[in-house]
Amino acid sequence: MNKKTGGLAGLIVGDTAISTVGKEGLDLTYRGYSIHDLASESTFEEVAYLLIYGALPNKTQLIDYKKKLISLRELPAELKSILEKLPANTNPMDVLRTGCSALGCFEPESQQFHQQDIADKLIACVPGILLYWYHFHQNGKSISTTCNEDTIAGYFLYLLRGSKPNEEQRRAVDVSLILYAEHEFNASTFAARVTTSTESDFYSAIVSGIGTLRGPLHGGANEAAMELVSQFKTPDEAEKGIRALLEKKAKIMGFGHRVYKISDPRSDIIKKWSKALSANAKDGYLYAVSERIEKIMWDEKHLFPNLDFYSATTYHFCGIPTQLFTPLFVMSRLSGWSAHIIEQREDNRLIRPEANYIGPEPRAYIPLIDRG
């Protein structure tokens, strides 16, 4: 791998008015608003509206937007039938990839379904797609995907458990959705923009994003971080285990970042939620385990936790199964992907870079009969 061009590191490949990441090495803003203000003052619905429609909603706009999202929660019967036919052991990210793609067959982008309506529909019904499939295969139940919980976080937790969520957990998930919503030209957003640049449809761009987010170097890291943290019962055990992994040159999931050089500004916000929730969790010791891993990673490698690291225990302490962590990332990032698809279309040019060829020089063709 050519260190200079590998992974497009450090290359500016386009303009955006949606977010800034890592200016001065550490900040994050969505349409000019600091992530700290958004996470403490806003709800995910306000942030999704900000990203997709370009401005924070006023009170009436927010009420109408929430009503719209609630009204879009029903899934087409044919989509439920597809979800029922998927294997019980399907990776939940594949369920979302398939579910969004299938929805694009039933409600394709058209005069009737405009881009912002599709964005809203996907944000509204992706929790239902995931949890309809989950309950059908885990518990043999066909759940109703409609309910009056008026936030996406509350809706997700309600569908997961079938009862009204506890407010602390609901807000923790709400804040995590705000933090995961948008991150400039990250791999999945870039994939969505590349697909958009060919003048493909909205759903295809979203499906590209989901497929790209799935990997452990990107969205899949929150699940991988949970698997790592849950191996240890005490901080001392964790220290020994992490040192052994570093010795073997293993990657520690949930650490490091391509753009941030000092810290991930989202990490301290979600870390506070992990700490607060650990107080009432049966395995709350995992917070102390995580803190020790953070210390060792800093002491040994000068690497800091990214958003995925403490999101893992935050979700775990809310009683969310690990296999649903990366799908939660999708539920949130749908808003950022949608904003970027809309922005790409406003001033589109086909995204088509060039490669540095390192293969053989031109040579004579060998007919099949002469090949050994």
**Which amino acids are annotated catalytic?**
218, 257, 308
Single out the residue of 174, 223, 308, 343 in contact with ligand ACO (rule: CB under 6 A).
Answer: 308
The residue (of 158 and 329) whose beta carbon lies closer to ligand ACO is 329
Of 244-283, binders to ligand ACO (CB under 6 A) are 251-258
Query: Nearest 5°: phi and psi at 314?
Result: -60, -50
Q: Find the shortest distance in angstroms from Cβ 199 to ligand ACO.
A: 28
Q: Find the shortest distance in angstroms from Cβ 325 to ligand ACO.
A: 11
Determine, following the binding rule CB under 6 A, whether residue 165 of this chain makes contact with ligand ACO: no
- Residue facing ligand ACO at closest CB distance: 256
The residue (of 154 and 219) whose beta carbon lies closer to ligand ACO is 219
Scanning 24-32, 50-58, 286-294, 299-307 for contacts with ligand ACO by CB under 6 A, the matching segment is 299-307
Q: Find the shortest distance in angstroms from Cβ 361 to ligand ACO.
A: 31
Q: Find the shortest distance in angstroms from Cβ 82 to ligand ACO.
A: 28
Q: Find the shortest distance in angstroms from Cβ 240 to ligand ACO.
A: 17
Q: Distance between CA atoms of 339 and 184, rounded to whole angstroms? A: 10
Contact code string over 133-162 relative to ligand ACO, x by CB under 6 A: ------------------------------
User: How many positions of this chain bind ligand ACO (CB under 6 A)?
Assistant: 18
Binding site for ligand ACO (CB under 6 A): 7, 217-219, 221, 251-258, 301, 303, 306-308
